[in-house]
Structure 1
């Protein structure tokens, strides 16, 4: 019985120990590599300036005023013309993770609740960025509150973010009242605190993209790097053939009940069409902003999904 309860708890809620354990799975995915290897995040970590730094850029003909310590003697000997090495100048990059933990994510029909998927993905990406010497912080937001962590290059900052994720996750309930504009408010706050060159990783419910949140993402994407990770459940995209289903939603003192006959082909087709339109809206937004879109399902392991999606984006990569 205790083992079964622990498994169920891991599928519906997260705890600090589980988020810390995600650090051991960072090596299963590769978000970062040298720019010429096609990393999905290459380019955001280097300035356009070429100066003294740790990453080699290119070799060019020596010019008056160049540092003689950077002369490439092999190329000089081969060409009989002095050549010097140039380097990428490193640029400090704060990473800001926006992780939703709202009532609408407190649902899952298969592997885990969507809120758990968000928390685990946030932990995995947080560890990956910290290992890459980025400053890491973020914003955990729900229906009634949000908590912000200032980006720092320290485990304490990441653990502080995890503590908020755990507290929000443990406090979620099916009886909570959803706040439709939680994502909009979080994105507005991100626009206030983030600066050009920052990376914002947005983990939210796939159904949260509406006119207001889309506009906020467009405004945010004009100034910072973006990664979009909308989370969905299979039932968000397709209704099962299960006969008559009853749904009830409470809003304060009011409640509404809805009955759906899922045996009706037209109903299931219309439901699937709405889901398809939602997916297309995310794709069009990502294309417009030229940012990475990594949808995550609650029916599969987070690490497996990210590894598979990144593999398809980077030609020639092998597991």
Structure 2
């Protein structure tokens, strides 16, 4: 994934501070990160859940998927429809929240307002404060080019602060060019490593929020996401920069592709080809997540993150 190199196009806030993430606590209200649920249910302690398994009230009948509890099989419906059918129930239960926050080198890009890495940190803080305010356990994984910091879910402000500190630390470690090191290349595979670790933590009944630009996503990413979504609720916050979606080349402009600098051709054909390639990749992942019933929330770097979240996921009767 191409990103403009520092010093060529950089009219954005480069770093996030702990104080800024703390101030977002006041903004973490009036929205739900899962649009299929009522606003007051998401990340709100003991709330109605669409998690797989046995519960208190019947909600829907659907086709059997690998991993479903055989005790939920509806044999009459299976015989009638001639395909395995299971009954899905709602239940009152606490839901641990896991925030997967991307702070790799590919996130060090922004044309206006803020870098993608800063926007990801802001989105993570909103989710964290929303979870903590509702009494849910919250933890997370912070993806860096050369390591993954992990904070296991816990219902305490101290643990939440630990996660925020890890996000800020990682954010300040990102550099635009790591010459002589291979971490920027290896970082493309770090996304899947974080998902593998998430599989070990979130066996079932978690809410997983992946906040990333999906750089390096591949077939293994799809396999791991499928495994996670089978027994957990999941949402993808796709961070993007409009300039990165429609690359405009001017004479002498340079781009950084995982440590390698390239000159951007100043031609209409290159711009159109880049835009089409970006759109094809976006459409592919949208379809993959749609098939898994995983909502995708696109977040732009050029607008206020709380405003974008509320405009897309807000509820007209929700308290601000």
Which residue, 296, 299, 304 being the options, matches 2:299?
296
Which residue, 225, 241, 244 being the options, matches 1:236?
244
1:17 CA displacement:
1.4
1:31 CA displacement:
4.5
Distance across 1 between alignment mates of 2:141 and 2:223: 19
Which residue, 200, 205, 215 being the options, matches 2:213?
205
Where does structure 2 lack aligned partners over 5 or more consecutive residues? 1-9, 60-89
1:50 CA displacement:
2.7
Corresponding residue for residue 227 of structure 2? 219
Deviations 1:84-110 (A, max 9, x none): xxxx75212111111011111111111
Which residue, 156, 159, 162 being the options, matches 2:161?
159
Deviations 1:265-300 (A, max 9, x none): 211111000111121122102211112110111111
Cα pair 1:237 1:275 within 8 Å, conserved = yes
Residue 258 of structure 1 pairs with residue 266 of structure 2: no
Deviations 1:45-81 (A, max 9, x none): 7775339xxxxx9xxxxxxxxxxxxxxxxxxxxxxxx
Cα pair 2:211 2:236 within 8 Å, conserved = yes
Cα pair 1:103 1:143 within 8 Å, conserved = yes
Residue 282 of structure 1 pairs with residue 266 of structure 2: no
Corresponding residue for residue 49 of structure 2? 44
Deviations 1:31-54 (A, max 9, x none): 589966796787537775339xxx
Distance across 1 between alignment mates of 2:234 and 2:111: 29
Cα pair 1:129 1:135 within 8 Å, conserved = yes
Q: Which has the higher contact order (CA 8 A, sep 6+)?
A: 2
Partner SS for 1:222: helix
C-alpha distance 220-318 of structure 1, shift in aligned 2 (>3 A): same
Distance across 2 between alignment mates of 1:28 and 1:317: 5
Distance across 2 between alignment mates of 1:33 and 1:172: 32
Higher share in helix: 1
1:259 CA displacement:
2.2
Larger Rg: 1
Which residue, 193, 202, 209 being the options, matches 1:194?
202
Count residues in correspondence.
270
C-alpha distance 316-93 of structure 1, shift in aligned 2 (>3 A): closer
Aligned-residue CA RMSD (Å): 3.1
Where does structure 1 lack aligned partners over 5 or more consecutive residues? 1-7, 52-56, 58-87
1:180 CA displacement:
1.3
Using the size of structure 2 for normalisation, the TM-score is 0.75
Distance across 2 between alignment mates of 1:150 and 1:182: 19
Residue 270 of structure 1 pairs with residue 273 of structure 2: yes
Higher share in strand: 1
